[in-house]
């Protein structure tokens, strides 16, 4: 499992797309956070990273599918999956290795944004006058969202041998569970189902953690969400062997 993980990480950084994907993530968030007048910290006058945590999940919606699109799709297209399947490693270890590689890459993408947090901390008046608890909670929530997107992206990649199709499928899954469920709540006809729709959607749980209080229900939700898609991916991989 660890060998699969390191193989995936090394392959990701062996091509330009790896550096490009993370670079785009940091650039877009940096622009929104520091340069745009409507969302920039310097113009808002508040020592907060709320703008980062509002935009980052939407950027992840495109970044994560770019990271995961080749996980299984490329292996199936080139025929290397059959070679991997003959190794003394179980299906779940293969899936978890690829999933963990994606999760590590998400963490690496988030890590440089800690510079933003340090800058805001220093710019506050007085220095350090920022809601540290909410900031830490938001980082935990952002990492959780990224990991959930990875689980959906790896699943999407297991469904096809075309990386572009994998990217689109993962994008649609991420959009549905993070963005579309929030829009569904606005529909009058679905108001009776508001509680169920809100619970299924990722955004409600992400917002909850971002307040700085890690609720066990949110933790169980994210773990359960990942477990479901890892199980679905394992089932799909098992079918590929027949």
pLDDT, one tens digit per residue, over 147-173 is: 999 999 999 999 998 999 999 999 999
Structure pTM? 0.88
Better pLDDT: 188 or 184: 184
Residue 184 has a pLDDT of 63
For residues 184 and 195, give the distance between their C-alpha atoms in angstroms, rounded to a whole number: 11
Residue 227 has a pLDDT of 95
Residue 198: band (very low, low, confident or very high) from pLDDT cuts 50, 70, 90: low
For residues 209 and 161, give the distance between their C-alpha atoms in angstroms, rounded to a whole number: 36
CA quadruple 104, 240, 93, 9: dihedral, nearest 10:
-30
pLDDT tens-place string over residues 46-62: 667 778 888 899 999 99
Domain count along the chain? 1
Residue 146 has a pLDDT of 94
Domain region containing 165: 2-240
Residue 149 has a pLDDT of 96
Distance of CA 97 to the CA centre of its chain: 16
Mean pLDDT of all residues belonging to the chain: 82
Residue 76 has a pLDDT of 77
* Secondary structure of residue 46 in the 3-state scheme: coil
Give the number of other Cβ atoms within 10 Å of residue 35's Cβ.
12
When pLDDT is averaged across residues 81-89 and rounded to a whole number, the result is 70
Residue 208: band (very low, low, confident or very high) from pLDDT cuts 50, 70, 90: confident
The residue among 2, 162, 137 whose CA lies nearest residue 71 is: 162
The residue among 153, 132, 145 whose CA lies nearest residue 203 is: 145
For residues 163 and 76, give the distance between their C-alpha atoms in angstroms, rounded to a whole number: 10
Q: Is the pLDDT confidence value at 187 over 70? A: no
Phi/psi region, residue 92 (left: phi>0; alpha: psi -120 to 50; beta: rest), is alpha
When pLDDT is averaged across residues 175-204 and rounded to a whole number, the result is 67
When pLDDT is averaged across residues 123-138 and rounded to a whole number, the result is 76
The residue among 213, 190, 233 whose CA lies nearest residue 95 is: 233
């Amino acid at each position: 499992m660890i060998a699969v993980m390191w193989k995936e990480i090394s392959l990701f950084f062996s091509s330009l797309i790896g550096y490009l994907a993370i670079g785009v993530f940091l650039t877009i968030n940096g622009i929104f956070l520091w340069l745009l007048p409507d969302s920039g910290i310097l113009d808002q006058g508040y020592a907060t990273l709320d703008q980062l945590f509002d935009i980052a999940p939407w950027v992840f919606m495109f970044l994560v599918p770019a990271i995961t699109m080749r996980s299984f799709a490329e292996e199936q297209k080139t025929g290397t999956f059959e070679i991997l399947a003959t190794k003394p490693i179980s299906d779940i270890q293969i899936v978890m290795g690829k999933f963990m590689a994606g999760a590590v890459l998400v963490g690496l993408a988030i890590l440089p944004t800690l510079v933003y947090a340090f800058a805001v901390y220093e710019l506050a008046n007085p220095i350090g006058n920022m809601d540290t608890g909410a900031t830490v909670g938001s980082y935990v929530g952002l990492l959780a969202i990224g990991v959930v997107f990875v689980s959906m992206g790896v699943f999407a990649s297991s469904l096809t041998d075309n990386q572009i199709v994998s990217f689109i499928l993962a994008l649609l899954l991420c959009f549905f569970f993070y963005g579309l469920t929030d829009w569904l709540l606005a529909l009058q006809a679905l108001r009776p189902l508001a509680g169920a729709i809100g619970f299924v959607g990722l955004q409600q749980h992400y917002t909850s953690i971002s307040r700085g209080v890690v609720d066990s229900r949110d933790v169980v939700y994210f773990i359960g969400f990942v477990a479901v898609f890892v199980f679905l991916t394992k089932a799909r991989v098992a079918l590929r062997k027949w």
